Structure 1
Amino acid sequence: MQAPIEEFINWLVEEGKAAKTVESYSSDIRKFEAYRKDKVVNEEQLLTRFLFVRYNQYLQEQGFAISTINKKINSLKVYNDYLHQSGYVSDNYISLKKDKIVIASGSEHIVTVLSEEEVERFLFYLEDRKKVSYRNRLIGYLLLYTGVRVSELVSIQLDQITMMPPSIQIKGKGGKIREISLRKGAVTLCDIKSS
């Protein structure tokens, strides 16, 4: 039964999900569907609590990383919500709070941040005009003070920067726009580059 999956994918697109998100959900759901077809006797049974629990166990037995399993669970939860809302199934069988695998304490990905001393050294380096161009100084300031991703930074256009008030509009994941205030050093550099 392919129709509900195709309808689900069309629904994701209509909801304005980013192409990468649609692709990720689609891949996860198609893999679940292959597992389902192999296991269920009743072809009409698109999703049940028992089927989900068995699939979750199967993913763990296959040795997938916890983050990958949780991503797949999240995709299935969205799919389950869609199936329920569309009348294909009678209940929501997945609870993210209950079903997501908790990462053991201490095993989370460690995020490294710059120490105050490293930030100070970096700022002094940025101010060395013999070594650092205006462009690279601006990049340094924006990365340091705004928290933008590199992928967001490289797509910034001049019309996204405003001086009154000093801010920059960033187009993030899923096309969401957020406005970030600019610090004085970055404002000065932006003003130089736009004039």
Structure 2
Amino acid sequence: MELEVKDFIHYLKIERGLADNSVMAYKRDINKYIHFLQKQLSVTAVNQIDRDKILKFMYDLNDQGAKTATVSRTLSSIRLFHQFLLKDRILDYDPSLHIETPKKSYQLPKVLNSEEVDRLLSIQPSDPLASRNKAMIELMYGTGLRVSELVQLNIHDLHLLMGFVRCLGKGNKERMIPLGDIAQEALTVYIEEARNQLVKKTNTDALFVNQHGRPLTRQGFWKILKKIAHEKGIKKNLTPHMLRHSFATHLLENGADLRSVQEMLGHVDISTTQIYTHITNKRLKTIYKDYHPRA
């Protein structure tokens, strides 16, 4: 079976033109698959492979504790391998044809509760950097921006009088997100009283800058957020994405509809946004269990 695997790798490189990393990933999956067939099931030729043998390999992966994503990716590699064997007429059937891909398991995102949000946002704008920090975090929690979207904002992307921020998301798709009163106030203070002091003579349109007047980076924001969380006594491993998760979850908990949240988050597919309904449903079950006399 080594020859078929070698031909398959050649096919991926030459005919499919896949990148080296992709080819190596396929090679690892197929080598593991073939090794199992040879050692555990005494398979010596590809024409001995059937659906039952593939399923035994998949069950073995599962027994070893492989994640659902790993099992799904491996099955995709096996399918492509057997499609190649069929295409090159090495086999006249595809034993992987009707094997279902395992359903993806979602890990519920961690979020801040309302009390933790209040603590995080209790920043006093006592100096230019503190004013910037408060404006950034209020904006991120108030809009659900990704950290990459936040640090790429220009001063012209803010429309404070209209109460919107313009954002370019994934795939350069533009969206307009409403600003709450508190975020607007924090941003106004930052722009009118602090930003010029930080920018100094630097020529930049970046909305948020570091202490040297240069555009803030993702890593820079991450460090600032970690430092503030530590100072405010927040024990959770706070990340920029946790603020985004908190934004979506708190909106849904307070009655927002899923389609509006999808639009504000910039999700192309609503199924991506539906992960947050699991969080709110879980919370409802907890409330029911804690407070209903018949629970």
Shorter chain as denominator, the TM-score bin is: 0.5 to 0.7
SS in 2 for 1:168: strand
Deviation, structure 1 residue 95: 0.6
Deviation, structure 1 residue 31: 2.4
Deviation, structure 1 residue 43: 3.7
The corresponding residue for 1:137 is: 134
Q: 2:74 aligns with which of 67, 73, 76?
A: 76
Identity of aligned residues (%): 18
Q: Distance in 2 between matches of 1:137 and 1:22?
A: 46
Q: 1:115 to 1:50 in 2, by over 3 A?
A: same
Gaps of 5+ in 2: 196-204, 208-295
Kept in 1, the 8 Å contact 2:121–2:134? The answer is no
Instruction: Report the aligned-residue RMSD.
Output: 4.3
Q: How does 1:142-153 map to 2 (within 5 A)?
A: 143-144=140-141, 145-146=143-144, 148=146, 152=148
Q: Which amino acid aligns with 2:52?
A: F
Q: Distance in 1 between matches of 2:10 and 2:158?
A: 46
The corresponding residue for 1:58 is: 60
Partner deviation per Cα, 1:35-84 (whole Å, 9 max, x = no partner): 23444221456x6312221112222343x25xx2x223211332344346
SS in 2 for 1:140: helix
Kept in 2, the 8 Å contact 1:158–1:194? The answer is yes
Q: 1:36 to 1:162 in 2, by over 3 A?
A: farther
Counterpart check, 1:166 vs 2:151: no
Partner deviation per Cα, 1:14-49 (whole Å, 9 max, x = no partner): 7xxxx987765554344224323444221456x631
The corresponding residue for 2:36 is: 35
Q: Distance in 2 between matches of 1:78 and 1:7?
A: 16
The corresponding residue for 2:121 is: 123
The two structures have a TM-score, normalised by structure 1, of 0.57
SS in 2 for 1:2: helix
Deviation, structure 1 residue 139: 4.4
Q: Distance in 1 between matches of 2:168 and 2:53?
A: 44
Q: Which amino acid aligns with 1:3?
A: D
Q: Which amino acid aligns with 1:32?
A: Y
Q: Distance in 2 between matches of 1:48 and 1:178?
A: 45
Q: Distance in 1 between matches of 2:17 and 2:99?
A: 19
Q: Distance in 1 between matches of 2:168 and 2:132?
A: 18
Where has structure 1 moved over 6 Å in runs of 4 or more? 19-23
Kept in 1, the 8 Å contact 2:167–2:175? The answer is yes
Q: Which amino acid aligns with 2:110?
A: T
SS in 1 for 2:77: helix
Q: Which amino acid aligns with 1:112?
A: K
Counterpart check, 1:194 vs 2:206: yes
Q: 1:146 to 1:102 in 2, by over 3 A?
A: closer
Q: Distance in 1 between matches of 2:175 and 2:206?
A: 18
The two structures have a TM-score, normalised by structure 2, of 0.42
Q: How does 1:177-188 map to 2 (within 5 A)?
A: 179=174, 181-184=176-179, 185=183, 188=187
Q: Distance in 2 between matches of 1:177 and 1:73?
A: 32
The corresponding residue for 2:110 is: 112
Q: 2:152 aligns with which of 153, 157, 160?
A: 157
Q: Distance in 1 between matches of 2:99 and 2:176?
A: 39
Gaps of 5+ in 1: none
